[in-house]
Chain A
């Protein structure tokens, strides 16, 4: 892989290198897991936070935790956006929140804001208004066309609201990755090849997991064809053939091997950012690490709240790391 140095990122990378030391390492995770209870575990996360760390109230520990972690992710996203010189590329990492909000708006009532998360490119109120009024002129250009297409698709498929709700999610997920790859294709930034590899690997891992889940759920090939995401390195036709011609055990073996390979590639990709002196790559690696850390903190503290033993918590941590 060719990694060119992008000198626009001199300050950004230096800043990120300073902040990277706050990330969770094995020792810190061990301390959080070994903490006696949820509030002690939360106290052990000191140093990871970019914002002043609040205290978890004993009555609403879970709500407080979710709120604090979302605020941390928001702060990380803002930092990521402010340090980036390619807003069109950085926006790709926030699209998932907009698409999540869109799913809520399409699946439930557009009147409600429950379950929506204000981390996307478009504020939830604005997105809600746009969907209700079918007016997307005020939305970012990146989203305008996609949302219009999605609404057309959802409108055409009358089955969607009657038992095929998963299709809303499937259409939106596919559209999101389609939008990401289209943007990367036309963008001239040197980091595009890195991002392309990153998203491609993510799509491949996701597609392999979908194949395995479909086999376990005994879904048919046509539905799998609809659910697989576009843009991965593994050809969809190849995956479909594998799915059709194999029983669960050999398919699972193949998927395990492929996922291990792709995860190794992903790790190598993140590790390569250590050697990138200037560019968007270290910022992306930092963002992804922060997201993973937040997920891990949430998991450990919720597991503590549920009374899980440290050994069981380590088992769950391994599933995240796998």
Chain B
């Protein structure tokens, strides 16, 4: 689509500069998109592994807890699990990939997870609690990866939209407009030439 501009030489120069800039921007954005995609694919692989690990861990943890739940009376289980023996400190930082800030979570566990008596409880409860504790750390890692995947996906989407806008809208429009101005200027030139020739003819006839 031809832009609404005055077909002047100044405008032509300005549009040529814009076109050059748009092409450079397009190349940079394409590079950024490729880099983001590369990170995104490696993150997806890690996320898939982490997700599988968490899902397997959950199945295992629930299985162990179910065994404890079946054998230990409800009120004893309530009393044993009501107050956790560990204190967890979650710290949050970030790392940057291209222009995207991705979160990084680290978790510090203090205390003893087995914070109940040993008379009325069983080893399956110990195993379930320890399995949940490990799983908790994996869950935090999974949350970090999932957030990173979401942020990267959004950034890729945004970048792709910009690349497409440049590639299919701005650059063709600029090229078309430049072509239009160029043709218009040539037309003016031809018009001038014809007018001059005409004037010359009139002058010669007199």
Could you list which residues of chain A lie within 8 angstroms of chain B, going by C-beta atoms? 66, 96, 100, 103-104, 107-108, 114-117, 163-166, 169-170, 172-173, 206, 209-210, 212-213, 216-217, 227, 229, 295, 298-299, 302-303, 306, 316, 319-320
Could you list which residues of chain B lie within 8 angstroms of chain A, going by C-beta atoms? 66-67, 69-71, 73-76, 78-80, 82-83, 85-87, 110-112, 114-120, 123, 126
Chain A residue numbers with a CB within 8 Å of B82 are 104, 107-108, 114-115
Can you add 19 more A-B contacts, CB < 8 Å, to A165-B115, A169-B117? A66-B74, A100-B76, A107-B79, A107-B82, A115-B75, A163-B85, A163-B115, A165-B83, A166-B112, A166-B115, A170-B118, A172-B117, A210-B118, A213-B118, A227-B118, A298-B73, A298-B74, A302-B70, A303-B70
Q: Is the CB of B126 within 8 A of A216?
A: yes
Name the prevailing secondary structure of the A interface residues. Answer: helix
Shortest Cβ distance from residue B117 to the other chain A in the assembled complex, whole angstroms? 3
Residue of B nearest to A313 (CB): B70
* With A108-B82, A115-B75: A103-B117 Cβ-Cβ less than 8 Å: yes
Instruction: Report Cα–Cα, A163/B119, bound state, in Å.
Output: 19
Chain B residue numbers with a CB within 8 Å of A302 are 69-70
Instruction: Report Cα–Cα, A116/B115, bound state, in Å.
Output: 18
Number of CB contacts from chain A to chain B under 8 A:
88
Chain A residue numbers with a CB within 8 Å of B78 are 114-115
Chain B residue numbers with a CB within 8 Å of A100 are 75-76, 79, 120
Residue of A nearest to B84 (CB): A165
Shortest Cβ distance from residue B95 to the other chain A in the assembled complex, whole angstroms? 32
Name the prevailing secondary structure of the B interface residues. Answer: mixed
Q: Is the CB of B117 within 8 A of A213?
A: no
Chain A residue numbers with a CB within 8 Å of B119 are 169, 173, 206, 210, 229
Instruction: Report Cα–Cα, A216/B83, bound state, in Å.
Output: 23
Shortest Cβ distance from residue B140 to the other chain A in the assembled complex, whole angstroms? 21
Mind listing 20 A-B residue pairs with CB under 8 Å? A96-B120, A100-B79, A103-B79, A115-B75, A115-B78, A163-B86, A163-B115, A165-B85, A165-B116, A166-B112, A166-B118, A170-B117, A170-B118, A210-B119, A212-B123, A213-B123, A217-B114, A217-B126, A299-B70, A320-B71
Chain A residue numbers with a CB within 8 Å of B87 are 163
Instruction: Report Cα–Cα, A212/B83, bound state, in Å.
Output: 24
